[in-house]
Structure 1
Amino acid sequence: MAPTAETAKTDGTILVVNAGSSSIKLAVFPADDAAHAAEPRLTALIERIGAPEAAAWIRPAGGAKQPVALGAEAGRGHAPALRVLLPEIAAQAGGPIAAAGHRIVHGGDGYSGPVAIDEGVLERLETLVPLARTHQPHGIAAIRAVGEVWPAVLQIACFDTAFHATIPERARTFALPEAVRRAGVRRYGFHGLSYQWIAASLPGILGDAAEGRIVVAHLGNGASLCGMAGRESRATTMGFTPLDGLVMGERPGRTDPGAILFMLEEMGLAPAEIREMLFKRSGLLGLSGISNDMRTLMASAAPEARLALEVYVERAVVEIGAIAASIGGLDALVFTGGVGENAAGIRAAIVARLGWLGLGIDPEANAANALRLSPEGATPVLIVPANEEAVIARETRGLALAAG
């Protein structure tokens, strides 16, 4: 029997599954009103999936990591590794799993909000794999794995693209022939669950000013910007795929399409080689030849590392200016994501070149990774930690209760 609304209101729990290209992050939240809190009951991680050094652990809130032996299953892919870990999570969840919410990178044109998963939804998600090959297949595999372990558990898909459904047509349309546009080629945007968390958090920080013109910089191994007005997405840097916009750990960001044609026609590279390059060997890694990790590059004295950081900052400055222009100005800048929350030097370098937007940064606050980085009287510059898992838990709880 599927979990009921009454179960969700009492002792049930919400499982959140965030499947990446080589890892799966999981969290368990209470399914009652406490699901609106940011802190889960426990977290878990499977990392380096497919590699000999694959590993997994579970960590109860306030406790230490507990290793979980995956055996040979970790080398077989996301679904086999997840099938091993799920019973271990259930044993420590503190209540029955009432529903499972999944981060799904691409919802295409069909999904502008969370949706209960059935076979028809899964078939639709399969058709979107060509738009997000690095992540979409793993999200689908995670759904199927949960369904195999707990067939009666309601599963909910939460989409990274959904938050950007409010972007105006003029901002999401590419200047391409109608036949191409009819095939679905347009700007979708990603990192939407992260931006949704920021949008919900801003009133508690900025008050009424949260409804103004906000640029959020989600800077991590994947990176993008979102321009908000009225706490809704109005512009974003990622496009048809997660390749566009900012320089990222392994992805190049905005690149002249003619360069791709040159690789195909003049360099003789195969499409598969170009795909591998664009998704896994470009960005900070491709620029430096050293690492995709911002910490490694900031600690390096190599000129290639310096160049990588300079290009990264240059692209961020240009794109923040462009997004601010698109939304008609800037009332606050918010940093989030692993780099945005922790790389004080990168934040300082970006803000230093945006004084014309009224931005400034207090060195002591910046060094401390404080909530508010801007000096008195300057346009607010904030750090708001990302919490996609809490957003997924909220969305999943809402649909689970509605379905009960």
Structure 2
Amino acid sequence: MSHDADQPVLALNVGSSSLKFGVFMVGTSGSRVLISGAEETVGEPQEALARIAHRIQAQGLPAPVAVGHRIVHGGPQYRRHTLIDAAVMQQLQAATAFAPLHVPPALALVSAAQARFPGIAQVACLDTAFHAGMPDVARALPIPRELRALGIERYGFHGLSCESILRQLGHDVPPRIVVAHLGHGASVTAVAHGASVDTSMGLTPSGGVIMSTRCGDIDPGVLAYMVREHRYDAAQLEALIDQRSGMLGISGLSGDLRELNAASASSSASAGDARLAITMFCTSVRKQIAAMAAVLGGVDLLVFTGGIGENDVAARTLICEGLEALGIHKEAVRVMPAQEDKQIALRTWQITQTPH
């Protein structure tokens, strides 16, 4: 790729039901978006990519010179954003065991993008990369050494979101930041002098705070009990942990905070359960923020981001209740967008500028 003019880069961010995309003109001066949107991923990823390619062409935009992919988990082999080749794809396939919900659709999209845009660079932008330098006290899990040697440790996620927050802060980065990324998945990260030093998610994106449908941290004895007394297998445990718990499990109604807010304000029989789900979620996040404040020795800035973090004022207010005791006052709280797609484009451009 040329080092002179800005280059068009396609950022792809696949979720459970939709594919977010953006074409950015990226160069040494930064980036600007040319087009962005979302496509349903029901069906083959090739079909969604074909629609994206058509939208790019229909607007007369330049064809991308590189494609960046959000990869949730790179496993123990890949801790940095990296150019994708056959060997990298093989290792990322192996990392599927760590995030079976997230990695397979992302890799299917990589293969589809290689076919749709042949001959151009494809880059894996890892959500775990931001946390790669966490100290041992945060990264190690309290399990036997031989299991830790298998790569079973705290990886942390929402790294692209955290990177985008630091980029947006620019030179105005205080030494002690807590980033609360709250969406369908939710995590809280402690950032000291621009580096991740602890985070709530662990080996997988299932740990940490209560989420929409994920339980977050739970007494491991509950899982042993379900296996022993109710004969749960691995698939049933995963469904329990990732799809049937969290705010959905508590309320018996929904994992969507907007629906729970509406139900809690109604006179329906489910109002009490909806209120309990909201309160438990907010309390869970507040506890993690307090824990990260202890790790950092205080908090200079608390950032809310993600769909809930950016848009739900009531949730932010409830989460912040009592944090004044830790020195976290209103002036130390900011709401910022999670610019993950822009971050993917920037990292992709940087990787392709580096000689390999």
Name the TM-score, length of structure 2 as normaliser: 0.94
State whether structure 2 residue 228 is matched by structure 1 residue 265: yes
**Aligned match of 1:40:** 33
**Aligned match of 1:174:** 141
Q: Please list, as runs of the form range in 1=range in 2, the aligned pairs for 1:130-209 lying within 5 A after superposition.
A: 130-203=97-170, 207=172
* SS class of match (1:110): coil
State the distance in 2 between where 1:327 and 1:360 align: 16
Could you tell me which of 383, 389, 403 is aligned with 2:335? 383
- Asked whether the equivalents of residues 46 and 116 of structure 2 are also in contact (C-alpha less than 8 Å), the reply is no
Letter in 1 for 2:351: L
**Aligned match of 1:219:** 182
Q: Please list, as runs of the form range in 1=range in 2, the aligned pairs for 1:4-403 lying within 5 A after superposition.
A: 4-5=1-2, 9-10=4-5, 12-33=7-28, 36-37=30-31, 39-47=32-40, 49-50=41-42, 74=43, 77=44, 79-91=45-57, 92=59, 94-203=61-170, 207=172, 210-301=173-264, 302-361=271-330, 374=331, 380-403=332-355
Q: For 1:216-254, what per-residue CA distance to the aligned partner results, in whole angstroms no more than 9, with x for missing partners?
A: 100111000110110110010000000111111111111
* Shift in CA distance, 305/183, structure 1 to aligned 2, threshold 3 Å: same
> RMSD over aligned Cα, in angstroms?
1.7
State the distance in 1 between where 2:274 and 2:320 align: 20
TM-superposed CA distance for 1:211, in Å, is 3.5
Letter in 1 for 2:97: P
Q: For 1:349-373, what per-residue CA distance to the aligned partner results, in whole angstroms no more than 9, with x for missing partners?
A: 1111211112233xxxxxxxxxxxx
Q: For 1:79-136, what per-residue CA distance to the aligned partner results, in whole angstroms no more than 9, with x for missing partners?
A: 2333422431441362121100010001223223211110100000000001011110
State the distance in 1 between where 2:62 and 2:355 align: 19
**Aligned match of 2:268:** none
**Aligned match of 1:62:** none
Letter in 1 for 2:2: A
Structure 1: segments with no counterpart, 5+ residues:
51-73, 362-373, 375-379
- Asked whether the equivalents of residues 298 and 327 of structure 2 are also in contact (C-alpha less than 8 Å), the reply is no
State the distance in 1 between where 2:307 and 2:263 align: 19
- Which structure is richer in relative contact order (CA contacts within 8 A, separation 6 or more)? 2
State the distance in 2 between where 1:203 and 1:132 align: 32
State the distance in 2 between where 1:203 and 1:11 align: 21
TM-superposed CA distance for 1:400, in Å, is 2.0
TM-superposed CA distance for 1:403, in Å, is 4.7
- Asked whether the equivalents of residues 5 and 402 of structure 1 are also in contact (C-alpha less than 8 Å), the reply is no
Letter in 1 for 2:342: A
State the distance in 1 between where 2:78 and 2:174 align: 25
Name the TM-score, length of structure 1 as normaliser: 0.83
Letter in 1 for 2:66: A
Aligned length in residues: 349
State the distance in 1 between where 2:123 and 2:216 align: 30
* Shift in CA distance, 340/151, structure 1 to aligned 2, threshold 3 Å: same
State the distance in 2 between where 1:296 and 1:82 align: 29
Structure 2: segments with no counterpart, 5+ residues:
265-270
Q: For 1:253-312, what per-residue CA distance to the aligned partner results, in whole angstroms no more than 9, with x for missing partners?
A: 111111111111112222211211211111111111111111111121311100101110
* Shift in CA distance, 11/230, structure 1 to aligned 2, threshold 3 Å: closer
* SS class of match (1:359): coil
Letter in 2 for 1:43: S
Q: For 1:29-55, what per-residue CA distance to the aligned partner results, in whole angstroms no more than 9, with x for missing partners?
A: 013346x23x411013122x33xxxxx
* SS class of match (2:299): coil
